[in-house]
Amino acid sequence: QEYTAIKIQILEWPAAAKATLDKGGVDTDRKKVSLVAATLRPETMYGQTCCFVSPNITYGLYEISPTEIYICTARAAKNMSFQKITPVRGEAKLLAEISGKDLIGAKIHAPLSVYPEVRVLPMDTILASKGTGVVTSVPSDSPDDYATVVELAKKADYYGIEKEWASLEPIPIIATPTYGDLIAIALVKEMKIQSPKDKELLAKAKEIAYKDGFYQGTMVIGAYSGEKVEVAKNKVRSDLIAAGDAFVYDEPESLVISRSG
Ligand code: ZZB
């Protein structure tokens, strides 16, 4: 699986995270620290409204250069070390570990998003075994993301967040003849999806959103507005990479097989 890894810079740390990093001697003032989110939809990055981490996953801070640190799972860092992303092949230098829980509420900058500053929020359904363990949220085009932000806004106290953090309006990114310009919301309503726990329905909705968005979609925002998604997707991706806001991250099939067998 070939992902686009999006660098989401941390602008302001929650107190719990700051304490952990100070203790570990990580100088967060002088280094650029980014959450790295793995996505298959670079063309939707205009619509990022938050970034999800799992409260149940321990993330690592990995040194990428003298000035740059990435946050992701150990598994992803290891994979990156074989893709010329870390300085030494096969090595990812761990500077500190941090619980996803402690990252919640961090103020971040998501590249291309119409919202210049968004927040880190919890998502219980993130798999540690896929991507980087960090998921950027695009509620306009991802049914899982829309179901999650609705749930978070509804039970903000329970999740220990501010309601406003989960209440940013979804942004129209792609229009399709069948589902309009907010496909995730249309699908969640049509399929009567009630919560992020409706796994089977969400998997179906995701499938439809991928296909319809890719084959029938036209961009309605950004540099390639008016172009077909099929064409615009790689252009947006190349622009993000050229700007230093993203890189290619591969999850080799063979690695998965060798690990389980
Ligand atoms: C932004 C985005 C916008 C995404 C969208 C999807 C959509 P797949 O198809 O199963 O391989 N994701 C990435 N890593 C994880 C993880 N560890 N656990 C749970 N979800 C994860 O899934 C790839 C997509 O699932 C990624 O692309 C990411 O969300 C999420 F408009 O990034 B995506 C119709 C989907 N639309």
pLDDT single digits (tens) 106-150: 999 999 999 999 999 999 999 999 999 999 999 999 999 999 999
**Residue-wise pLDDT tens digits, 64-81:** 999 999 999 999 999 999
Q: Distance from the CA of 250 to the center of ligand 1, in angstroms?
A: 14
Ligand 1 near 205 CB (within 6 A): no
The residue ranges of the chain whose pLDDT is under 70 are 254-261
Q: Which pLDDT belongs to residue 252?
A: 80
Cα(211)–Cα(32) distance, rounded to whole angstroms?
Answer: 36
With a 6 A CB cut-off, is 188 part of the ligand 1 pocket? Answer: no
Residues forming beta bridges with residue 3, ordered by sequence position: 249
Enter the ipTM: 0.98
d(CA 31, CA 21): 12
CB distance 135 to ligand 1 below 6 Å: yes
Domains of the chain, earliest start first: 2-260 (3.90.740.10)
The strand pairing partners of 69, in sequence order, are 33, 63
What's the gap in Å between 44 CA and the centre of ligand 1? 11
**109 beta partners:** 9
Quick check: CB of 137 below 6 Å from ligand 1?
Answer: no
- Alpha-carbon torsion 154, 118, 186, 214, what sign? negative
